[in-house]
C-alpha cells in the first residue's frame, strides 16, 4: 500500500527557535521513516516581509542547516527550497481564483500582521493561506506537522481542496490534517510571560537553536515570573505555567515533578527553577548549535542537498499540476 504523504515547511525569517523545533521540526524527524515526506524552506512566503536579495539565500541556507542538524536525512525524505518548485506558484494562482476576500480577511494571522504593520498590507500577505495550501496540495499531502498556530491555515487548505474537488467533480485533493505530538498540536510559550515563542515576541523572549550557552542563560534568567505562590496547590498564573511548559519541553519528568511539588507546597524559588531550565536548554541546544555551525560552513554540501531535493520534489509536483491543468480544461 502507498505510504501517506507528509509535507511541511518553515519560513526563513531568522534562525530556527525552540518553538519551531518542538512545534514542527521534531515531528519532521520522527515522520521521515514512516511516511513519504516533503520538507521545504518557505522562501516564497518570506517575501511578504520584503527581505533583501542578499539575504534570501543565506536565510534559506540557515534553515536547511538546522533541518539537517536536527536529523533530517536527504536520502530518507525530500528536502527542498519552495522557490525551486515554481509549480507551487502556478497552483497558488489557480487556488486564488476561488479564494474569497472575506474569508482571507478573517484569518487571525492576517489580522495580527495588519495590526502590527499597517503600512505593509500587500496581496501576498492576504493570500498567504492560499500559497500555503498550494505547498501542501502540490504533493497531495494528507498529514502536515505544524504547531498550534497553523491550525487555521490547515482548515483553509481543506476548504480550498474541497472547493476544487466539488467545483470540478474530482477527487484529486485529499483533505490534509495538522499533526503534532501524540498529545496534540504544540504551542511553545515566549519567555516574556505571554504569547508564543517567535520573532514577533522579540529576540529576548526566544531561544534560537544558534544561541550560545551564555545567551541562553541570560535570556532564561530574565524570564518573567512572579513573587511566588501564597497558598498550597494554587493555580499557576500564565507566566509561571509558561515556565513549566518550557521545562516540560527540555527537562526530565522527574525535574518537572520536583518543581511542581515545590510550587504546590509554596517553597519554590524561581531562581532555582530558571537555573535548571537554562541548564537543560543549553544541554539540549548546544549539540544542535554546533552541528549547525559545521553544516553552514559546508556550502557545497548544502547546495547538493538542495539540488537533490529539487529533483525529487519536482517529480511529485509535476504529477499533480498535470492533473490540475487537465481537470481545469487546459490543453494537456
Ligand atoms: P513558521 O515559519 O512561523 O513556523 C514554522 C513551524 O514552527 C511552528 N511554530 C511553533 N510551534 C509551537 N510553538 C511555537 N512558539 C511556534 N512557533 C512556530 C509553526 O507552527 C510551524 O509549524 N506558514 C508557515 C510555513 C509554511 C507551511 C507551509 C507550513 C508555509 N507553507 C505548508 C506547513 C505547510 C509558517 O509561517 O510557519
The span from the CA of 113 to the CA of 118, in Å, is 8
Atom 33 of ligand 1, residue of closest alpha carbon: 8
Atom 34 of ligand 1, residue of closest alpha carbon: 8
CB neighbours of 185 closer than 8 A, spacing ≥ 6?
Answer: 23, 146, 147, 148, 150, 151, 178, 179
- Kindly report the pTM of this predicted structure: 0.96
| Coil vs helix vs strand at 37 | strand
Residue from 24, 47, 199, 202 to probe ligand 1 pocket by mutation (most atoms less than 8 Å from CB): 24
| Coil vs helix vs strand at 232 | coil
The span from the CA of 67 to the CA of 32, in Å, is 12
**Range from 118-132, 175-189, 190-204, 252-266 carrying the lowest mean pLDDT:** 190-204
| Coil vs helix vs strand at 146 | coil
Average pLDDT (295-317) is 97
19 lines ligand 1 (CB under 6 A): yes
Average pLDDT (288-317) is 97
pLDDT tens sequence across 61-109: 999 999 999 999 999 999 999 999 999 999 999 999 999 999 999 999 9
Q: Which three cell numbers stand for residue 143?
A: 498529514
The span from the CA of 31 to the CA of 35, in Å, is 6
Q: How many CB atoms lie within 10 A of CB 38?
A: 25
User: What stretch(es) of the chain map to CATH 3.40.50.620?
Assistant: 5-188+299-328
Q: Is 196 a catalytic residue?
A: yes
User: Considering 187, 196, 219, 274, which one is annotated as catalytic?
Assistant: 196
145 CA → ligand 1 middle, Å: 9
Q: Is 3.40.50.620 the CATH classification of the domain at 5-188+299-328?
A: yes
8 lines ligand 1 (CB under 6 A): yes
Q: Is 113 a catalytic residue?
A: yes
Whether residue 296 has pLDDT greater than 70: yes
85 lines ligand 1 (CB under 6 A): no
User: What stretch(es) of the chain map to CATH 1.10.240.10?
Assistant: 210-293
pLDDT tens sequence across 204-240: 999 999 999 999 999 999 999 999 999 999 999 999 9
The span from the CA of 38 to the CA of 78, in Å, is 5
Average pLDDT of every residue of the chain: 95
The span from the CA of 138 to the CA of 319, in Å, is 9
User: Considering 113, 187, 219, 274, which one is annotated as catalytic?
Assistant: 113
Topology adopted by domain 210-293: Tyrosyl-Transfer RNA Synthetase (1.10.240)
The span from the CA of 108 to the CA of 119, in Å, is 18
Identify whether the C-beta of residue 50 lies closer than 8 Å to the C-beta of residue 288.
Answer: no
User: Considering 199, 224, 236, 275, which one is annotated as catalytic?
Assistant: 199
Amino acid at each position: 500500500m502507498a505510504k501517506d504523504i507528509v509535507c511541511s515547511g518553515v519560513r526563513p525569517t531568522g534562525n530556527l527557535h525552540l518553538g519551531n523545533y518542538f512545534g514542527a521540526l521534531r515531528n519532521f524527524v520522527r515522520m521521515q521513516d514512516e511516511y513519504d515526506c516533503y520538507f521545504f524552506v518557505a522562501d516564497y512566503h518570506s517575501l511578504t516581509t520584503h527581505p533583501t536579495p542578499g539575504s534570501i539565500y543565506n536565510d534559506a541556507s540557515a534553515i536547511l542547516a538546522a533541518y539537517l542538524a536536527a536529523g533530517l536525512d536527504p536520502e530518507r525524505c525530500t528536502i527542498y527550497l519552495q522557490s525551486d518548485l515554481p509549480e507551487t506558484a502556478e497552483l497558488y494562482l489557480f487556488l486564488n481564483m476561488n479564494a474569497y476576500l472575506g474569508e482571507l480577511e478573517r484569518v487571525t494571522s492576517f489580522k495580527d500582521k495588519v495590526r502590527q504593520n499597517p503600512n505593509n498590507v500587500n496581496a501576498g500577505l492576504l493570500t498567504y493561506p492560499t500559497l500555503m495550501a498550494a505547498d501542501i496540495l502540490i504533493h497531495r499531502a494528507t498529514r502536515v506537522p505544524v504547531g498550534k498556530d497553523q491550525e487555521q491555515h490547515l482548515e483553509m487548505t481543506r476548504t480550498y481542496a474541497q472547493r476544487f474537488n466539488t467545483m470540478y467533480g474530482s477527487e484529486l485533493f485529499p483533505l490534509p490534517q495538522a499533526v503534532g505530538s501524540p498529545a496534540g498540536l504544540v504551542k511553545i510559550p515566549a519567555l516574556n510571560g505571554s504569547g508564543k515563542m517567535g520573532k514577533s515576541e522579540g529576540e529576548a523572549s526566544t531561544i534560537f537553536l544558534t544561541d550560545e550557552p551564555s545567551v541562553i542563560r541570560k535570556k532564561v534568567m530574565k524570564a518573567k515570573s512572579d513573587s511566588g505562590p501564597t497558598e498550597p496547590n494554587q493555580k499557576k498564573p500564565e507566566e509561571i505555567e509558561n515556565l513549566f511548559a518550557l521545562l516540560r519541553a527540555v527537562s526530565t519528568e522527574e525535574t518537572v515533578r520536583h518543581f511542581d511539588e515545590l510550587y504546590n507546597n509554596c517553597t519554590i524559588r524561581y531562581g532555582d527553577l530558571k537555573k535548571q531550565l537554562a541548564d537543560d536548554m543549553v544541554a539540549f541546544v548546544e549539540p544542535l548549535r554546533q552541528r549547525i555551525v559545521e553544516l553552514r560552513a559546508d556550502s557545497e554540501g548544502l547546495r547538493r542537498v538542495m539540488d537533490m531535493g529539487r529533483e525529487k520534489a519536482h517529480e511529485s509536483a509535476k504529477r499533480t499540476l498535470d492533473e490540475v491543468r487537465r481537470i481545469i480544461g487546459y490543453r494537456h
